Structure 1
Amino acid sequence: MKTLQAFSWIFLLGCAASLGACDAEQPLPQCTVGRGEHAVRYTLVSGIGSCAAKRAEKLGAQIFRTPGSGEPPSLVFKPGPFAANEGKDPAHPVLSTGNFTTEYPSKDEVCEVPTLSEARQFVAQATGTPVDVRYQWSNVRVQGSSAIPGTQWIADLTYSEDDCTATYVAVGLFPALKCERTEVRNGQNVVVRDPAICSLPRPSLSIDPAFPTLCDEGTNLCVLDGEPPALLPQP
């Protein structure tokens, strides 16, 4: 039975924010991924129709490993749109799962998962006719350096809605945060889009300030600006 490997965000923030403290000669950490919600930015490669309109969304991720076994861990993805559908279509899997090829990152500091199982759900619509939604992930490359231990990744996605299919390049960032704040206007709470929030420290989980980010206009999610490995120039 594989047990969950906890993720240490405190180590990440201290290491990547001050790269000089992370000796390039020290051993790389084991392959891992930030446990929790990731913000995923999609770039369309091919496809038309409703399935070709994805911009950004949240994705749950975590790893499982057998401690002391020396075996590569397994990676689990839960698409954000499926979270609310869990239990409503028990005949199909909510999760995508796959195995890392190695326990530790490669020489170029990348951990690879060649393919994950398909996640599929029939999602009810307002019209009453459910839509057959499928996620097929492949070529997942998770950053495994001391500065970026499992908090940036890139992958290929084949996404389907009934007979409509599109392919994307997906770029993930951990943790998933909203670039929004609440203001009081005329006695009412109003949600305001604020890209600066992506780089602000938070009392709990924060996006590493060394990561370049954008505030996605369609979802107000803080997403990675560029492709992994992405770090801001250090002074």
Structure 2
Amino acid sequence: MTNSSAFRWILSLGCMTLLGACNAEQPLPQCTIGRGEHAVRYTLVRGTGACATKRAEKIGAQIFRTPGSGLPPTLDFRPGPLAANEGKDTANPINAAGDFTTEYPSEKELCVVPSMSEARQRVPQTDGTTTDIRYEFSNVRVQGSAAIPGTQWIADLTYTENDCTAQYVAVGMFPALKCERTVNGQIERDPAICQQPRAGLSIDPAFPTTCDESTNLCVLRGDPPSLILQP
């Protein structure tokens, strides 16, 4: 498959900044999520075969809410492998969607989406066969504190590739950035890049990260809420 941005949206998010997290003493914001691409790390729970080899990838995310309605927003996920084949299978949804249970975070500072619709694409291959890919997310828990406003989340994923099905725990972090640099025309892996400020969006320096060796994606270390302890 060719690479494609999971979402081509303007990236903006409330109190998300380039230099650090928001003041934790602020009132809890409405349930939200970083609008754009998230780096998602997978931990296999059950399964074998081709579907059980996922390590990390980009997933596009955004929410939809009706202003002034008081209703909880709807969360959309667009997995990168499906976005890369957008338009090849118009009969199936490329996005997974589900409603938050509340408009504002719970006392535990969580915004929960119990279940999401299936995202699916049947992708034609060069050998004439078709690969059927399905994503079923559930038990999505988005961090909703003022310090982590929709920029870390964890979920269960059932991933199916043709007749092969595997279960994962998915951990997402916003934004999705690569831990690599180009030196003399060659791409080199550099984990330090994950924590370096850059023009545009940077990963919050309070987030502990690691560089996934299979994808060169900066991914979150630990499960949300995950923050570097300050001395």
Q: TM-score, normalised by structure 1?
A: 0.91
Alpha-carbon distance in structure 1 between the residues aligned to 2:11 and 2:103: 15
- In the TM superposition, what are the counterparts of 1:104-119 in structure 2 within 5 Å? 104-119=104-119
Percent identity at matched positions? 69
> 1:73 maps to which residue?
73
The answer on 1:229 being equivalent to 2:225 is yes
The answer on 1:192 being equivalent to 2:197 is no
- In the TM superposition, what are the counterparts of 1:49-128 in structure 2 within 5 Å? 49-128=49-128
> 1:8 maps to which residue?
13
Post-superposition, which runs of at least 4 consecutive aligned residues in structure 1 deviate over 3 A?
4-7, 9-15
More moved, 217-226 vs 78-87: 78-87
Alpha-carbon distance in structure 2 between the residues aligned to 1:125 and 1:51: 17
Alpha-carbon distance in structure 1 between the residues aligned to 2:143 and 2:82: 25
Distance 1:170 1:81, change over 3 A: same
Query: Which consecutive residues of structure 1, in runs of 5 or more, have no partner in the other structure?
Result: none
SS at match of 1:209: coil
Alpha-carbon distance in structure 1 between the residues aligned to 2:127 and 2:76: 32
Q: Tell me the CA shift for residue 123 of structure 1.
A: 1.4
CA deviation profile, 1:129-183 (whole Å, cap 9, x unmatched): 1111100000000000000000000000000011110000000000000000011
> 1:38 maps to which residue?
38
Letter in structure 2 aligned against 1:196: A
Q: Tell me the CA shift for residue 9 of structure 1.
A: 6.1
SS at match of 1:182: strand
Alpha-carbon distance in structure 2 between the residues aligned to 1:170 and 1:11: 22
- In terms of Rg, which structure is larger? 1
* Higher-helix-fraction structure: 1
Q: TM-score, normalised by structure 2?
A: 0.92
Letter in structure 2 aligned against 1:223: V
Distance 1:29 1:79, change over 3 A: same
What RMSD over aligned residues (CA atoms) do the two structures have, in Å?
A: 1.7
> 2:24 maps to which residue?
22
> 1:213 maps to which residue?
209
Alpha-carbon distance in structure 2 between the residues aligned to 1:31 and 1:85: 30
Question: What count of residue pairs does the alignment treat as equivalent?
Answer: 223
